[in-house]
Amino acid sequence: MTEAEDRYEREQGFHDQAFETHSRDSTGRFYTVLAPAETAFWQAVRDAGTGARILEYGCGQGGRLFQLAPYAASLAAIDLSPIGVQQARKEAEERGIKADIRVMNAEALEFDDGTFDLIVGNGILHHLDLERAFREIRRVLVPGGRAFFMEPLGHNPMVNLYRRMTPKLRTPDEHPLLMADFALAERNFERVEVKMSVLTSLLALPFSGSKHFDKLLSRLTAVDDSLFQRSALARRHAWYATIELVRA
């Protein structure tokens, strides 16, 4: 077995177990500070996805992409986890949504060149060999096609400390993105747009679920946006990034 095959097996086993046992459900409150970024992300996806052939890249158990069904020309989704795909198919069936959902390696897509207008992924790229992933994403996009991703970043020391303290919540092979990974993206796509999210807004976490949370998060998000506009150091230490890749 090759090193890549070992990695695929570890990733599949981890996510099969996570989807079957819902072992990551307890971490949900830590992601509440991402709400403004997620709202903007999915609005951008909806705007780009109207009338588009869409692929969800790393669909897990299924999710918000299904909300695009009324606007999309077609929906497809892939994941390395058979358990995740089974659950995503069940959700699509229960919602009455027609979608081509398959178990597939994101680094070796089984679609023809130029199959999709739009590719969407949330928390998937940092599990992959990016050179292979970017090559495949570009290949299956039509000229002018776009890909949107939300991904964690790997420069913030406090976030990295939390990661080291909770190794069972993540796979041994995942690698939150670094600035060098955006340079790699720029070598594979004609346009790369990156928007950072969450720095001071991490301070809102202790108030998640309280009546003050939404107002505090809104104010801290505004502070973050101002910092990201002014400071490369602030952008480097953001927790998450929204990434748009465009193939000319």
At 122-157, the pLDDT tens digits run 999 999 999 999 999 999 999 999 999 999 999 999
111 DSSP assignment: S
Q: How large is the C-alpha radius of gyration of the chain?
A: 18
203 belongs to a structural domain: no
138 belongs to a structural domain: yes
76: three-class secondary structure by DSSP: strand
The pLDDT > 90 percentage for the chain reads 79
pLDDT in tens, 26-60: 566 779 999 999 999 999 999 999 999 999 999 98
211 DSSP assignment: T
Nearest to 129 by CA among 171, 192, 181: 181
pTM for the predicted model, two decimal places? 0.94
Average pLDDT over residues 217-229: 98
11 DSSP assignment: H
Rounded Cα gap, residues 212 and 204, in angstroms: 9
Give me the numbers of helices (H) and strands (E) for the chain, helices first please: 8, 7
What the block records as the tokens of 185 is 């993206």
Residue type at 150 in one-letter notation? M
Total of domains in the chain: 1
For residue 167, the domain's CATH number is 3.40.50.150
218 belongs to a structural domain: no
Average pLDDT over residues 180-189: 97
208 belongs to a structural domain: no
pLDDT at residue 64, as a whole number: 78
226 belongs to a structural domain: no
What the block records as the tokens of 17 is 């177990």
Rounded Cα gap, residues 131 and 134, in angstroms: 6
In this structure, of 59-68, 84-93, 171-180, 221-230, the range with the lowest mean pLDDT score is 59-68
pLDDT at residue 27, as a whole number: 62
215 belongs to a structural domain: no
Q: Domain of 75?
A: 3-194+231-246
Helices (H), ranges, 108-152 = 130-140
* Torsion sign over Cα 17, 22, 28, 31: positive
pLDDT at residue 24, as a whole number: 56
Print burial letters for 57-93: b (CB count within 10 Å at least 16), e (below 16): bbbbbbeebbebbeebeebbbbbbbebbbbbbbebbe
220 belongs to a structural domain: no
Q: Hey, what long-range contacts does 47-51 have (CB within 8 A, 24 or more apart)? A: 48/118, 48/146, 48/148, 49/118, 49/120
